[in-house]
Amino acid sequence: EFANEWMNLNRLVNMSPNVKRFPGWSHDLALDMKSESLAFFEEVIWKQKRPLAELLNANVTFATPRLAKHYGLEPLKGNGLAKYDLSAVQERGGLLTQGSVLTIGGDEASMVTRGLFVLHDLLRSGVKDPPPCVDTTPVPTRPGLTQRSIAEDRVANKSCGGCHGKFEPLAYGLEKFDGIGAFHEKDGHGNKLREDGQILFPGTAKPVQYNTSAELMNLLAGSDRVSQSLTWKVAQFALGRPLGQPDALALDKIHQEAQKGGGTYVSVIRAIVKSDLVQKTKTESDDEK
C-alpha cells in the first residue's frame, strides 16, 4: 500500500498518451508497469530488506514479456512477471527508470514534472509560486528542440530561472526516456539525447556532476537527504497525516534511530512506534480526563 499510495500507481490505467506517438501504449502495459513497481518494492524492501534509499539504484526489476519488450529487455519464458537482473543494463535500475514514474512527465517527457518529483519526493524541498509581479509568459521555443534544450532556455531566462533552475536540472539525467518510459538515444527529430548533468543537494554548497543516469541514481541512493526524505514519506504514510515543521525534531530522531537499524522500512516503522509522535500522541480519552 505504501508504494501504491506514494506513487499514485492507480493513475496509470487512466493515462491516455497520444496513440500516434505511442502506438505501443495499452491498458495492459499500464497494468504491467504498476505490477512491476509493486513487485520491485516487495523484492527490495521485504525480501532483500535493503535500505529505503536503495530503491533508487537497485539493479533488479520485474517485467512481463510485453513490458520487457517495451524496455528493450529480452523477454523471458512465460506470460507473467519475471525477475530481471539489471546489473549489466546501464540504462535501467531503480525506481526513477521505471515506467510508473517516468510517465509523470506526460507525452513530452516534461522535465518540469519529473524534476518536481525528485525535488518534492526525494529531496523534500520545494519552490514557491511566482509572485504576481513576475512575468510568467512561457519562454518562446520552436519545433524540433529536445526537452533538455527547452528546459535550459527556461533555466537561463531571468524570470523563470530562479525557480526552474531548482528542479528542471534534476531531470536532465532522464532525457533518454520518452513519455511512456521507453529508452532512446535520439528523439523523434533526430536529436541526440543526453543523460549528463549535475545535482545540488539541499544544504550543500556545490553541485555534483554525473555523466549517466546510473551515476545519478547512485548519487541519489547515497544521499542522506534522500534517505531522510524517505523516512518522512514512510512516517507520513504510517501516521496517516501530513507532516510539517513541528514534526521535524521527532522525525530527525526517527531517522537517526532507523539508520542504526540499517535504514530499512522495518527499522523506520520500529523507530516511529517508539517515537514521541506515537508515544505522546493525545487521544480523545486523554482530552476527556
pLDDT tens per residue across span 44-71: 999 999 999 999 999 999 999 999 999 9
Q: Is the model's pLDDT at 209 over the cut of 80?
A: yes
For 104-121, what is each residue's pLDDT tens digit? 999 999 999 999 999 999
Question: What is the reported pLDDT for 129?
Answer: 76
Q: What are the pLDDT digits (tens) for 124-162?
A: 998 877 766 666 666 666 778 999 999 999 999 888 888
- As a whole-number percent, the residues of the chain with pLDDT over 90 amount to 84
- Report d(CA 233, CA 258) in Å as an integer: 13
Q: Which residues contact 200 (CB under 8 A, 6 or more apart)?
A: 206, 207, 208
> pLDDT tens digit string along 21-32?
999 999 999 999
pTM: 0.91
Q: For the segment 179-204, what is each residue's pLDDT rounded down to a tens digit? A: 999 999 999 999 999 999 999 999 89
- CA torsion 89-196-101-188 (nearest 10°) is -90
45's grid cell: 524492501
**In angstroms, rounded to a whole number, what is the distance separating the alpha carbons of residues 235 and 277?**
9
Instruction: Give residue 1's pLDDT.
Output: 86
Q: What confidence tens digit (pLDDT) does each residue in 245-267 have?
A: 999 999 999 999 999 999 999 99
| Residue in 251, 113, 225 with CA at minimum distance from that of residue 170 | 113
pLDDT at residue 72 greater than cutoff 50:
yes
- The percent of residues above 70 in pLDDT, for the chain, comes to 93
* Amino acid 40: pLDDT: 98
Contact by Cβ (8 Å): 164, 151: yes
Q: Residue 205: how many CA atoms within 13 Å on its side-chain side?
A: 0
152: which 3 cell numbers?
Answer: 535550459
**Across all residues in the chain, what is the average pLDDT?**
92
DSSP secondary structure of 104-164: GGTTTT-HHHHHHHIIIIIS----PPPPTTS--PPPP--TT--HHHHHHHHHHSTTTHHHH
